[in-house]
Amino acid sequence: MRISTRGHYGLKAMFDLAQHYGTAPVPLKSIAERQNLSVQYLEQLIAMLRKAGLVKSFRGAQGGYMLADNPKQITVGDVIRALEGPVAPVECVDEIDPKECDQADYCISRIVWEKIRNSIAQVMDSLTLADLCREAKAKENEKEREEKEESKEGV
Amino acid sequence: MRISTRGHYGLKAMFDLAQHYGTAPVPLKSIAERQNLSVQYLEQLIAMLRKAGLVKSFRGAQGGYMLADNPKQITVGDVIRALEGPVAPVECVDEIDPKECDQADYCISRIVWEKIRNSIAQVMDSLTLADLCREAKAKENEKEREEKEESKEGV
DNA sequence: TTAAATCCCGAGTAATTTACTATGATTTCA
DNA sequence: TGAAATCATAGTAAATTACTCGGGATTTAA
């Protein structure tokens, strides 16, 4: 029950792009450095995201990538699905193309997989990249406050 | 983002055992036939369930397996975890043994994986085998009613 | 006009995991 | 004793994962 590194690293990259939304194109090299990933592998992942229409690319010097849309409009679900395919804990409850199963009528485990699928989708689809940026900022502020407290107390 | 056949088939087997709870031990062969699975593969899965304390075994002729506890007391989560290990969409948010990650402080994607993990766990842990048996019965009744309607209408 | 920066594309590959099968031993009941 | 079971271990083909490698195409800046 794992997400592969594709989804894992890909989401990091998209979060990075979201934090640079509205600026010049961001080259992969800088994303790779900040997120501690290999450029060559990232190239593959971002190609998938581009084909899914989630990022725009600009070639040549000063080129790079940017989100194709406002971070508020892009959900975690969009990103994960582009990289990992449709949500489907087992193939017979695939979101897009459920595999025909001769036991579908009376298979009870199916109910379980459907519930799991729906709960995963619900989380992914209700979280946008903008939400993540907000969380990141909140975390940062908290950290700063803590540091101030510490220096006050002379720890 | 898949559950392997271990969890998939294993849950079917446990559901089968739940439907026979309170009767004589059920041999693997009969489970395999009803659920359309290979006996030899099932042997491996049920061994894991036995080691996890979820089923009891009886060797020799007239032997077989039975649930170690009332179906009301065994959750889908118990079964899946016994077969697939702890819920962990990525290793850094493993339920039991999260892998140390030097970015843990500021890694935002982590928040996403935690939410997904929790929602999966919530579904799994709130569904018992008894719930599945009840759903199976409801489905069966519904089918019977439909069939009666059909014969009335002479379709 | 050339060099540098960047994206783009396809192939290759080692390691791991999955989903089994195969074999044979042991236990128990009738 | 013999049939019906569980129990244990090993083997394995296929698929997937997580990459790396090499080179080409495009754009910009000097």
Is the pLDDT at A18 greater than 80? The verdict is yes
Q: How many residues comprise chain B?
A: 155
Smallest CA–C1' separation from A38, nucleotide: D19
pLDDT band at A143 (very low <50, low <70, confident <90, very high): confident
pLDDT of residue A101: 78
Rounded distance between C-alpha atoms, residue B69 and residue B71, angstroms: 6
Q: For residue A66, give the H/E element and its range.
A: strand A64-67
pLDDT of residue B103: 76
pLDDT of residue A68: 98
Cβ-contact B65, B46 below 8 angstroms:
yes
Rounded distance between C-alpha atoms, residue A94 and residue A26, angstroms: 35
Average pLDDT over chain B reads 93
Q: What share of chain B is helix, strand, coil (3-state, %, to 5)?
A: 60, 5, 35
pLDDT of residue A154: 64
User: What percent of chain A is modeled with pLDDT above 70?
Assistant: 97
Q: Which nucleotides of D are covered by protein (CB under 7 A)?
A: 2-10, 16-22, 25-29
Is the pLDDT at A6 greater than 70? The verdict is yes
The stretches in chain B having pLDDT less than 50 are: none
Cα separations in angstroms, B33 against A98, B13, B37, B66, B71: 24, 11, 7, 17, 22
Residues of chain A in contact with residue B80, where contact means CB-CB under 8 angstroms, are 1
Within residues 46-65 of protein chain B, the ones with CB less than 7 A from nucleic strand D are: 46-47, 50, 57-65
Return the amino acid letter for A77: G
Is the pLDDT at A30 greater than 80? The verdict is yes
Residue B75: CB atoms within 10 Å? 18
Q: How large is the average pLDDT for residues A2-31?
A: 96
Is the pLDDT at A155 greater than 60? The verdict is no
Q: How large is the average pLDDT for residues A98-109?
A: 79
Taking the C1' atom of C19, which residue's CA lies nearest?
A: B5
Phi, psi of A22, deg, nearest 5: 95, -5
Is B152 (CB) below 7 Å from strand D? no
Query: Whole-number Å distance, CA B60 to C1' D8?
Result: 16
CA distance A60 to chain B (A): 30
Q: How large is the average pLDDT for residues A10-26?
A: 97
The tens digit of pLDDT for each residue in B104-144 reads 767 888 999 999 999 999 999 999 999 999 999 998 898 88
Q: How large is the average pLDDT for residues A82-94?
A: 92
**Which of these ranges, A41-45, A119-123, A145-149, B101-105, has the smallest mean pLDDT?**
B101-105
Task: Output the six-digit token pair for A70.
Answer: 């406002």
Listed residue (B80, B71, B64, B77) closest to B9, CA to CA: B80
